[in-house]
Chain A
Amino acid sequence: MTNHWIDVKNSDVILVMGGNPAENHPVSMKWIMNAKEKGAKLIVVDPRFTRTAAKADIYASIRSGTDIAFLGGMIKYILDNKLYFREYVVNYTNASYLVNPEFKMPGELDGVFSGYDPAARKYDKKTWSYQLDENSIPKKEPALKDPNCVFRLLKKHYSRYTLDTVSAITGTPKEKLIEVYKAFSSTGKPDRAGTELYAMGWTQHTVGTQNIRAMAIIQLLLGNIGIAGGGINALRGESNVQGSTDHGILFHILPGYLPAPTATLSDLKTYIEKHTPKTKDPKSVNWWGNRGKYITSYLKAIYGDKAAKDNDFGYAWLPKLDEGMNASWLMLFDHMLKGKFDGFFAWGQNPACSTSNANKVRKALSKLKWMVNVNLFDNETGSFWKGPGMNPKDIQTEVFQLPACSCVEKEGSITNSGRLAQWRYKAIEPIGQTKPDSEIMNELYFRVKRLYQRHGGKFPEPILNLSWRYGTKDSDGRIKKVDTHLAAREINGYYLEDIYDKTADPPKLIGKKGELCTNFVTLQADGTTSCGNWIYSGSYTQKDGKVINMMARTKKSDPTGLGLYPKWAWCWPLNRRILYNRASVDPKGMPWDIKRGVIKWSLTKLNPQTNKPGIWEGDVPDGPAPPMADEKAGKYPFIMRPDGMGAIFGPGLADGPFPEHYEPLECPLSENPMSKKQRINPTVKLFYTDKNSLAEDIYANNDSRYPIVATTYRVTEHWQTGVLSRHIPLLLETVPQQFVELSKELAKEKGIKNGDKVNVASLRGKVWAVAFVTERFKPFKIMGKTVHQIGMPYHFGWQFPEDGSAGDSANLLSPTIGDANTMIPETKAFMVNIEKA
């Protein structure tokens, strides 16, 4: 989230699209209803009338997978009716940048942008560039009239998204489109705030990233980024999926969003050079210019004293990806099915149910030699060898199932969607022989290391040199009991030497050797600081010698009245509660809306750092520099971007600088109404290309056998694949079995009555379910034809309840395909059929 949960109360218009907070983040509705009580409008756009929709002022139905068309229409509406926040757009976004005249868009090139290579399914992005001045700074045209400026190109691109076209694609009636557009674009004024809440309803598409980009463009046009009650807010699906992402449990990132090293970046210097953006614009903060400090401090954290200048801080010990190698989820299971892996860890996760095309995963698991399954409960992954269609006697895979503790049996922090890291305390001793996950890791660390110490082996350096200082060691060198506070301190970072601010005269001591770092601003690139994750630096710190766990703070004060609660727990980065908050003020530093001022530049107070008048008040600002209008020291608001500007034109993505509507891999149409020659996202990786492809990856488009659009989702009473809710009797009681929701019209066509047992099938699998015949799904009129949509939750699995009464995962139906940028599988739009069982 750019903002945070409580902040929703500050909104005038709340758009819920791609999410369903009433069911998946129920307590957030407290703040949505709070805003509504004060007069805010809640808009819900969803294929299904959800429990959130039940509270909406405006509900619009939409066919799954057509969000870009819907939002593209909104962009057109905002531009045509001049509802954008001009001062914000001109000063804080790249709308005025002049683009390379060679750049061409899908309207001109049959559905693709310039530079497309159909064989490689990739773009050469040469033309997706700016016209640069002599300092390599993009040329700007603040009047926004030049036909090559971003603003004009945006207008041209979305001129194709007329109400008629959008309505024909999305199935949303025109008057509903206008109602939503009008309500949301009313926030394009300085004294109005609009927020957007999304979740997997946007990410789980082949155009997932571009769904979010389309909204980012809208929020930049309306001046809704950085302000209270604004932002684009990803409602994350698990209690610590934010923290686990921050800490780099993903193939492509190390902790703190440092790119995973690749093969050609053979030493630390090359890595830093490659991943440190540069700018000559003095007004740009370009925060990633600090990359070298963060990667070096990370290496010092993980290898400790073993990382030194003369061994490149152990950079060589980090595993490297081949250039262009994708080791993400779908590839991982694809490779597993092809027999690439001997060993596999499924640690607190149940891919046999959670992965799109789950049958492929279940089969892939049987190709393993060994699996380690850590969980609180048995699950479909650990017990896959006795699942439906499996004969244990044919399955080689050894499985070790290790029982883990629940959260109240251990101590540590988790980070919520609003980037708020909060400390959890141990309430009771571990149940039975269960162990905290950290203890399991500790044991495996020690035992693997001992094997390498005793017997040697391939490239033992990273194993032998890993720093592991989480408690007192016994005579064998094994830590008896892990103290997670020590891990939290390692993440925060230490001063390994006395650190001086050399820009001060005389140099000023800013960090004392051996103490915990104050924050990441003091980190160094020369190995004199360690920090496991720079964005968490400041979370467990030291003030006047006293160690403070900032994440455990519980002081409730709200000086701004906006619900920031700056002394409650701790939020990354630097306890900043609203990201990009320098965009919430005008170039002189005054809040666009004084009633909702997040930060404010005060000239009446003395700044202790500079000894001059001028200091930010309110939330922790995006950097202490004076506001942008200050000629000498002023800075642009979007400090993480090399050019300091919000990106309306986004050339960094794989599939285009502007979002374009493409159909899902499986859809009810034979062609894309937007551009007839390019039905699906031209840059997605296709798993099924011809007869030699894996049969598991097959898909069916515009196929009369599978004429119904399907989507998956969650319900309030269950969680993810259900391992932590099917096993909970009180929750299972409320939603005991797999169900499918369908319209009365479809039910009538198929002779299905409410409560009937039905089978839902795709080309890849079949699942039984109990039919919920409801008005909450309605048939769509798409390009003149009637299209039905159904929906199913994915909470169920064969393993529990053990009598099979709950059914199995809806993910047995969904396809193997992912977003062009993230490879997140497309489980929100695919084609099925439904028949009475």
Chain B
Amino acid sequence: MSLSRRNFLKVTGGSILAGSLGVGVKPKTAHARRIKIKDAKESKTICPYCSVGCGIMVHTFDGKVINVEGDPEHPINEGTLCSKGQSLHQIVHNPTRLTKPRYRAPYDTEWKEVEWDWALNEIAKRIKQTRDKTFKLTSLSKVKEKQPDGTETEVKKEFVVNRTDGIAHVGSAALDNEECYMLQKLLRSWGLVYIEHQARI
């Protein structure tokens, strides 16, 4: 009778074999498990959660993050991390990550996956359309004006403002500095002034 080990256990019950399987085998003293970061590439990052700025070593293998741990060289965290920093790999490889652009049409009940090129072109069109429709070359501001009798009164006057009040932006404290700089510059080039982010809340 030939039975695989698993089937055999199934048939006879695990405990029956209990004592006899190990006859003649010396107890092992060393664990042979191969350390998982042995062949990994190491790169460094700074934790994306709070603002302590802990250094993190990211171990990758075959294009995947296989381990993260605190960077022992880093003077602030000295190799340590809290629960959030320690879970960084699950931000990267996560079945619920958005991996394709999505679009929700007016009054639709579902998301649809779309191509980047289409989405970016459509957004660009809307930016232009809204901007052109709502662009203000001038606007009224209240200013104090000296009257002939020496007193000051508040009057409304028209000034050049060159802005759009039709588009607003919020975010993002999660971007890199270079991106933050590029973003504020881009938004202001479109004429936005309703520009806010996490620092306000």
Direct A–B contact in the complex, CB atoms closer than 8 angstroms:
yes
B104: interface (CB < 8 Å): yes
CA gap between A441 and B169 in the complex, in Å: 13
Q: Which of A423-439 contact B (CB under 8 A)?
A: 424-429, 431-438
B182, A466: Cβ atoms closer than 8 Å: no
B178, A241: Cβ atoms closer than 8 Å: no
How far is the CB of B60 from the nearest CB of chain A, in Å?
Answer: 5
Q: What are the nearest 10 A-B pairs in CB distance?
A: A432-B99, A412-B176, A416-B53, A348-B172, A349-B171, A319-B163, A263-B159, A26-B82, A447-B124, A487-B178
Q: Tell me, rounded to whole Å, the shortest Cβ–Cβ distance linking A530 to chain B.
A: 12
* CB <8 Å contact, B193 and A251: yes
- Is B188 touching A386 in the complex (CB atoms < 8 A)? no
Find out whether the CB atom of A533 lies under 8 angstroms from the CB atom of B181. yes
Whether A264 lies near B84 (C-beta < 8 A) is no
Q: Is A117 an interface residue (CB 8 A)?
A: no
Cβ of A105 within 8 Å of any chain B Cβ, yes or no, is no
B15 CB contacts on chain A under 8 angstroms: none
* A833 within 8 A of partner (CB): no
Establish whether residues A249 and B162, one from each chain, have CB atoms under 8 Å apart when the complex forms. no
Contact A418 B53 (CB under 8 A): yes
Q: Is the CB of A727 within 8 A of B60?
A: no
What are the residues of chain B within 8 A of A164 when measuring CB–CB?
Answer: none
Contacts of A5 in B (CB 8 A): 52-53, 76
Q: Could you jot down 24 A-B contacts, CB within 8 Å?
A: A26-B52, A237-B50, A240-B174, A243-B180, A247-B181, A254-B184, A319-B191, A320-B163, A320-B193, A323-B142, A347-B170, A347-B175, A348-B175, A349-B173, A407-B46, A440-B120, A441-B179, A458-B132, A466-B186, A484-B179, A532-B181, A556-B73, A728-B91, A824-B200
Which of chain B's residues have a CB closer than 8 A to the CB of A248?
184
In chain A, what residue has the closest Cβ to B115? A433
Q: Kindly provide the distance from the CB of B43 to the nearest chain A CB, expressed in whole angstroms.
A: 4
Stretch with Cβ within 8 A of A (4 or more), from B2-10, B18-26, B106-114: B106-114
Q: Considering the complex, give the chain A residue whose CB is closest to the CB of B53.
A: A416
Q: Is the CB of A393 within 8 A of B109?
A: yes
CB pair B76 A6 closer than 8 Å? yes
Task: Please tell me if the beta carbons of B77 and A731 are within 8 angstroms of each other in the complex.
Answer: no
Partner of A377 from the list B49, B97, B132, B162 (CB cut-off 8 Å) is B97
Q: Which residues of A contact B123 (CB under 8 A)?
A: 370, 372, 400, 444, 447
Residue among A318, A395, A427, A727 having the largest count of chain B Cβ atoms under 10 Å: A427
- CB distance A343 to B168 under 8 Å? yes
Q: Are B119 and A400 in contact (CB under 8 A)?
A: yes
Report A385 CB to chain B, min CB distance, Å: 6
- Which residue from A244, A394, A444 sits with its C-beta under 8 Å from B107? A394
Q: Does A409 contact B (CB under 8 A)?
A: yes
- Interface flags for A311-355 (1: CB within 8 Å of B; 0: not) read 000001111111111011100100110001111111111010011
Q: Which residues of B contact A349 (CB under 8 A)?
A: 170-174, 197-198
Q: A458 to B131, Cβ gap below 8 A?
A: yes
Chain B contacts for A824, CB-based, 8 A = 200-201
**A470:B97 contact, CB within 8 angstroms:** no
A402 / chain B contacts, CB cutoff of 8 Å: 98, 101, 119
User: In the complex where A401-B101, A441-B179 touch, is A462 in contact with B189 (Cβ < 8 A)?
Assistant: yes
* Chain B, 29-44, CB within 8 A of any chain A CB: 41, 43-44
For the complex, give the distance between the alpha carbons of A406 and B21 in Å.
Answer: 49
Contact partners of A322 in chain B: CB under 8 A:
139-142, 159, 161
Q: List residues of A (249-302) whose CB comes within 8 Å of B's CBs.
A: 249-251, 254-255, 260, 262-264, 266, 302
- Shortest B12–chain A CB gap in Å is 37
A425-B45, A457-B131 known; A249-B101 Cβ under 8 A? no
Check: B102 CB closer than 8 A to any chain A CB.
Answer: yes
Convert A630-655 into 0s and 1s, putting 1 for each residue whose CB lies closer than 8 angstroms to a CB of B: 00000000000000000000000000
Shortest distance in angstroms between A817's beta carbon and chain B's nearest beta carbon? 13
Contacts known (A240-B173, A729-B90); A400 close to B97, Cβ less than 8 A: no
CB distance from A257 to the nearest CB of B (A): 12
A349-B172 Cα distance, complex, nearest whole Å:
6
Q: How far is the CA of A556 from the CA of B75 in the complex (A)?
A: 7
Contact with B along A393-419 (1 / 0, CB 8 A): 111111111111011111111111110
Residues of A349-396 contacting chain B, CB below 8 A: 349, 351, 354-356, 369-370, 372, 374-378, 383, 385-386, 392-396
The yes or no answer to B146 lying at the interface (CB within 8 A) is no
Interchain nearest-CB distance for A754 vs B (Å): 23
Partner of B98, one of A236, A378, A458: A378
Cα distance A441–B127 in the bound complex, in angstroms:
13
Tell me the count of chain A residues lying within 8 A, CB to CB, of chain B: 170
Contact with B127, one of A325, A343, A718, A719 (Cβ below 8 angstroms): A343
Known: A432-B99, A437-B179, A459-B191. A444 touches B82 (CB 8 A): no
CA distance A410 to B177 in the complex (A): 12
The answer to whether A438 touches B179 (Cβ under 8 A) is: yes
Contacts of B46 in A (CB 8 A): 239, 407, 414, 416, 422, 424
> Once the chains bind, are B51 and A242 in contact (CB under 8 Å)?
yes
Inter-subunit contact A428/B177 (CB<8 Å): no
- Is A713 close to B, CB under 8 A? no
Contact with A along B121-143 (1 / 0, CB 8 A): 11111111011111101011111
Q: Mark A543-560, 1 if CB is under 8 A from B, else 0.
A: 000000000001010100
User: What is the 8 Å Cβ interface bit string for chain A, positions 168-199, against chain B (1 contact, 0 not)?
Assistant: 00000000000000000000000000000000
Q: How far is the CA of A443 from the CA of B182 in the complex (A)?
A: 12
Q: A348-B172, A420-B53 are in contact. Are A728 and B87 (CB under 8 A)?
A: yes
User: Quick check: A403 and B185 within 8 Å, CB to CB?
Assistant: no
Q: What's the Cα separation between A469 and B153 when bound, in Å?
A: 48
Given A243-B180, A355-B201, A401-B101, A321:B193 Cβ within 8 A: yes
Instruction: Name the contact of B65 in the complex, choosing from A427, A444, A450 (C-beta under 8 A).
Output: A427
| B75 in contact with A320 (CB, 8 Å) | no
B99 to chain A, nearest CB (A): 3
A28 interface contact, C-beta 8 A: yes
The answer to the question of A593 belonging to the interface, with a C-beta cut-off of 8 Å to chain B, is: no
Q: What residues of chain A lie closer than 8 Å to B196, measured between beta carbons?
A: 249-251, 327-329, 332
Q: Which residues of B contact A458 (CB under 8 A)?
A: 131-132, 135, 137
Point out the residues of chain B lying under 8 angstroms from A44, CB to CB: none
Min C-beta distance of A77 to chain B, whole Å: 32
Say whether A491 faces chain B, with CB atoms less than 8 Å apart.
yes
Q: Is A235 an interface residue (CB 8 A)?
A: yes
B113 to chain A, nearest CB (A): 9
Q: Are B195 and A241 in contact (CB under 8 A)?
A: no
Q: Of A247, A376, A422, A448, which contacts B53 at CB under 8 A? A: A422
Q: B189 near A463 (CB under 8 angstroms)?
A: yes
Q: Please tell me if the beta carbons of B193 and A319 are within 8 angstroms of each other in the complex.
A: yes
CA distance A533 to B178 in the complex (A): 11
Q: CA–CA, A443 to B167, complex, Å?
A: 18
Contact of A459 among B78, B137, B181 (CB under 8 A): B137
Per a CB cutoff under 8 Å, which of A246, A264, A332, A404 touches B141? A264
Pair A323/B141 contact, Cβ less than 8 Å: yes
B124, B134, B160 — most chain A CB neighbours (10 Å): B124
Q: Contact check, A406 vs B48: say whether CB atoms are below 8 A apart.
A: yes
With the chains together, A695 CA to B169 CA distance in Å? 25
Q: What sequence of 0s and 1s flags, for each residue 60-86 of chain B, a beta carbon within 8 Å of any chain A beta carbon?
A: 100111000000010111101111110
Let me know if A491 and B178 touch, CB within 8 A: yes
Nearest opposing residue in chain B for A483, CB measure: B178
Is the pair A413, B188 in contact by a Cβ cutoff of 8 Å? no
**How close is A269's CB to chain B, nearest CB, in angstroms?**
15
